[in-house]
């Protein structure tokens, strides 16, 4: 669970561990796991070409990109699920993350599956310029079809940290938005605010608990209860396990 037994602090959790935690054993079926970035705007800084940077993150994490998408069962309920990984370049969203999430939503739309997206991201990926920004629109467009046309059910889970372009698109668009305890959630991060206003940001003013009181999320759910809460929510929305019915 990656929770400190002494103090209850939530350590970051890799996307693979998160999938293991949420999806029933033996049911995970990944999608588009061979998709890699093309370096579409040829972003080379002198120190390190963007492609080399991706290479080194691939070696470090064993992942091809900052999100894993696929289908599986959650307490027997078939779901489409996407999990971001903060260890891969700060979970930043470029063309690949945008395309994989869009395809996942389109798949869930066609198969009438409930959708879970677990967010962990520093925002849009600078190294792909405006194309990263446009992924926000692309994903929101797919969600429009999924949520408004097909009236299906999407739960977004905000883990620490969820910021920038991810917050300002699919992060805050869940039919139900769940935050993890003490997660750092923001549109503009602490440094950005401090730079713009020349004022220090008080500790905890961008923590899930504080923002919860401002009405930004539905429940805050501890990690060990999350799977149970999700399966209850799905059943309340008439998505039932395979074996029953």
Partner 1 sequence: MADDTGLDFSDQIEALENKYQQALKDLYIRLTPIQRLTIARHPNRPTVLDHILNITEKWVELHGDRAGYDDPAIVTGIGSMNGKSYMFIGQQKGRNTKENIFRNFAMPTPHGYRKALRMMKYADHHGFPIITFVDTPGAFADLKSEELGQGEAIAQNLRTMFGLKVPIVTVVTGEGGSGGALAIACANKLFMLENSAFYVASPEACAAILWKSSQQAPKAAEKLKITAQEHYRLKIADGIIPEPLGGAHSDPVWTSQQIKLAITQAMEELTKMDTEELLRHRMLKFRSLGGFQEGVPVDPQKNAT
- List contacts with partner 1 (CB under 8 A): 32, 34-41, 43-45, 55, 58-59, 61-62, 64, 94-96, 98-99, 102, 124-126, 128-138, 140-141, 143-145, 147-148, 164-165, 167-173, 186-188, 192-193, 195-197, 201, 205-206, 211, 214-216
Least gap, CB of 123 to partner 1 (angstroms): 9
- Which residues lie closer than 8 Å to 130 by C-beta, 6 or more apart? none
Comparing CB distances to partner 1, the nearer of 78 and 165 is: 165
Comparing CB distances to partner 1, the nearer of 214 and 244 is: 214
Least gap, CB of 218 to partner 1 (angstroms): 12
Comparing CB distances to partner 1, the nearer of 74 and 84 is: 84
For residues 224 and 143, the answer to whether their CB atoms sit within 8 Å is: no
Comparing CB distances to partner 1, the nearer of 75 and 172 is: 172
Least gap, CB of 170 to partner 1 (angstroms): 7
Least gap, CB of 4 to partner 1 (angstroms): 24
Comparing CB distances to partner 1, the nearer of 148 and 243 is: 148
Query: In this structure, what token pair is assigned to residue 159?
Result: 């883990």
In the 8-state DSSP scheme, what is residue 145? I
- Which residues lie closer than 8 Å to 34 by C-beta, 6 or more apart? 64
Residue 156: exposure state from Cβ atoms within 10 A (0-12, 13-18, ≥19): buried
How far apart are the C-alpha atoms of 206 and 183, rounded to whole Å?
8
Q: How far is Cα of residue 40 from the mean position of the Cα atoms in its chain?
A: 23
Least gap, CB of 75 to partner 1 (angstroms): 28
Nearest to 190 by CA among 203, 201, 204: 201
């Amino acid at each position: 669970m990656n929770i400190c037994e002494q103090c209850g602090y939530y350590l970051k959790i890799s996307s693979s561990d998160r999938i293991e935690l949420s999806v029933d054993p033996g049911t995970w079926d990944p999608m588009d796991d061979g998709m890699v970035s093309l370096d579409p705007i040829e972003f080379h800084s002198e120190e390190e070409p963007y492609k080399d940077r991706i290479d080194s993150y691939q070696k470090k994490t064993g992942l091809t990109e900052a999100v894993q998408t696929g289908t599986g069962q959650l307490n027997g309920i078939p779901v489409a699920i996407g999990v971001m990984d903060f260890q891969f370049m700060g979970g930043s969203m470029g063309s690949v993350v945008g395309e994989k999430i869009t395809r996942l939503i389109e798949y869930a739309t066609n198969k009438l599956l409930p959708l879970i997206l677990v967010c962990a991201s520093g925002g849009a990926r600078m190294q792909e310029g405006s194309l990263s920004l446009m992924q926000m629109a692309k994903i929101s467009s797919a969600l429009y079809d999924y949520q408004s046309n097909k009236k299906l059910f999407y739960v977004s889970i905000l883990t620490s940290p969820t910021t920038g372009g991810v917050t300002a698109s699919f992060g805050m668009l869940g039919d139900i938005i769940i935050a993890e305890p003490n997660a750092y959630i923001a549109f503009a991060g602490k440094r950005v605010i401090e730079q713009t206003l020349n004022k220090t940001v008080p500790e905890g003013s961008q923590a899930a608990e504080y923002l919860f009181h401002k009405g930004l999320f539905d429940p805050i759910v501890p990690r060990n209860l999350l799977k149970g809460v999700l399966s209850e929510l799905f059943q309340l929305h008439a998505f039932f396990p395979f074996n029953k019915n």
